[in-house]
Amino acid sequence: MFQRIARGLEITLALLILGFVAGYSNPSLTNPMEKVRAFTRQIEFNYISWMSNAAVLKVRAASVGAPYTLGHEAQKQIVNENLRLTQLILEKEYQLTQVYANPAVTDKETESQTLRAELNEYYLRQSRLAPLAEAILQEQVTQILAELGFTAAGQPIPNVWYHSTRLPMALVISPRDRIEQTANISVNTDLTIDQQVQLESDVDKGLDVSSLVVNIGGVGVYPTMVQRTTDLNWTLSTIAHEWIHNYLTLRPLGIVYNETPELRTMNETTASIAGDEIGALVIERFYPERRTALQSDSNPVTASSPSLSLISFPLEHPTPADFPRPQFDFRAQMHETRITADALLAEGKIEEAEAYMEERRLVFLENGYLFRKINQAYFAFHGAYADVPGGAAGEDPVGPAVRALRAQSKSLADFVNTISWMWKYDQLQKAVNPK
């Protein structure tokens, strides 16, 4: 047990130092990132503080060692109860938001008093239960990693540490004349829709760029951040996805994450492929009753600042509605939108491309997908997650090359270890096309 805690502290310290170094920059009006940060500096998310607090929670949970003393059924009950509490919290938080957004409610504090008391009780109960539930899921993912060959002396390096929490949002920047992520800055969790829209407007006008504030599902800091949800399948895929980012950070591919768009796509697609496969195996082993239809067909379920390895929040499910809707192939329609937008931008038709993407947004809206914007920044962010054909990646050849390498690899560990030692897209091309 002491070795487990010591290893976790060692890795935590190393990554905290890395976070300090990576996060430091000298303000300069000639630095593209600093030009964007002129708009965000006061609302940027504090990762160092979050990692410090989360690391303390992880050490305390590890010192108890409860997952090793509980039987499988007891572990499952704890995980399920934590999911139930999460559902109650999300419902009450939504109700509270409705109270404060309702102009007809004049005394919002009095009106929400009972609701806030219930929320505080749920928060307290989950603060006691969540560390244990997270420790159980960490250990289950670790067991699968060991069986797949991702461990040294039986332990993954770094340890699997994650914390479920409200996540920051990401301000993504792309040039208007092409689709390419040039900046990704994490901003505070409590930014309202009005504030997001104003930030995007200020940045677009001030820098003549395309910007978008996006929701994310996970962040590859350490411990990793995972969005609160009641979907255990998605949670496990995301835990594994972000651990793969930690694993890659200690190898060339992760180190050069920011160097080119191709390398970013290689990183994200690798993490998505591996995360989904690992998550599906955890479900198969420990929660077989939660297997999805896709998993039963032997296909894993599809689940981000660039150096923080954000994971895209899932967007491929329409908002529920009470009216019938004709069949709509999200990935095919988004793929078509990306290809056409790329073609227009390549011809220098920027305004035409932006008008086209807005027209397409309305098509998605009619089919239940509530996008505020579909623009260059949207594709620059979501297009890097190319573990499944089609979608926002368009005709980008990087995703298919990563998928080809996975298909020709003997095992998942062989695939990840092979690509992890690459630092140029050319190396991936030669690996899948040796001639």
155: three-class secondary structure by DSSP: strand
**Does any domain span residue 39?**
no
Answer whether residue 32 is part of any domain: no
Task: Give domain status of residue 343, yes or no.
Answer: yes
Same domain, 318 and 338: yes
Are the C-beta atoms of 418 and 405 separated by less than 8 Å? Answer: yes
Residue 60 within any structural domain of the chain: yes
Asked if residue 392 lies in contact with residue 382, where contact means CB atoms within 8 angstroms, the answer is yes
Q: Is residue 240 part of a domain?
A: yes
Nearest to 112 by CA among 99, 103, 121: 99
Of 134, 161, 188, which residue sits at a domain end? 161
**What is the C-alpha to C-alpha distance for residues 5 and 211, in angstroms, rounded to an integer?**
42
**Contact present, 131 and 60 (Cβ < 8 Å):** yes
Burial class (CB in 10 A: 0-12, 13-18, 19+), 348: exposed
Supply the pTM of this predicted model.
0.85
Residue written as token pair 């689940």? 303
pLDDT, position 361: 94
Quote helix, strand, coil % in the chain, to nearest 5. Answer: 60, 10, 30
Domain housing 295: 169-432
Residue 106 sits in the same domain as residue 149: yes
Q: Is 74 found in the same domain as 14?
A: yes
Burial 25-48 (b: 16+ CB within 10 A, else e): eeeeeeeeeebbbebbeebbbebe
Residuewise pLDDT in 10s, the chain (435 residues): 445 555 555 455 445 444 443 443 333 334 567 889 999 999 999 999 999 999 888 888 777 666 777 889 999 999 999 999 999 999 999 898 888 878 888 888 898 999 999 999 999 999 999 999 999 999 999 999 999 999 887 789 899 999 999 999 999 999 999 999 999 999 999 898 889 999 999 999 999 999 999 999 999 999 999 999 999 999 999 999 999 999 999 999 999 998 999 999 999 999 999 999 999 999 999 999 988 644 443 333 333 333 455 655 555 555 555 445 558 899 999 999 999 999 999 999 999 999 999 999 999 999 988 899 999 999 999 999 988 888 999 999 999 999 999 999 999 999 999 999 999 999 999 999 886
Which of 114, 129, 161 lies at the terminal end of a domain, its last residue?
A: 161
The amino acid occupying position 33 is M
Q: What confidence score (pLDDT) does residue 312 get?
A: 56
Report yes or no on 38 lying in a domain: no
Q: What is the DSSP letter of 164?
A: E
Residues 178 and 70 in one domain: no
Residue 41 lies in a domain: no
Residue 104 pLDDT: 86
Same domain, 261 and 148: no
Shared-domain flag, residues 90 and 191: no
Question: Considering the domain boundaries, does residue 57 fall inside one?
Answer: yes
Question: How many domains does one find in the chain?
Answer: 2
Whether residue 59 is found in the same domain as residue 173: no
Q: Which of 112, 132, 161 is the last residue of a domain?
A: 161
Residue 249: per-residue pLDDT: 93
Instruction: Identify the residue whose tokens are 């395309």.
Output: 210
Examine the domain organization and report whether 116 and 198 are in the same domain.
Answer: no
Please indicate, yes or no, whether residues 207 and 151 belong to a single structural domain of this protein: no
Token digits for 248?
A: 């890659």
Question: In whole angstroms, what is the distance from residue 387 CA to residue 393 CA?
Answer: 10
Predicted pLDDT of residue 8: 52
Q: Are residues 144 and 267 in the same domain?
A: no
Distance between the two ends of the chain, CA-based, in angstroms?
50
Question: Does 375 lie in the same domain as 303?
Answer: yes
Do residue 239 and residue 381 come from a single domain? yes
CA dihedral sign of residues 315, 316, 318, 320: negative
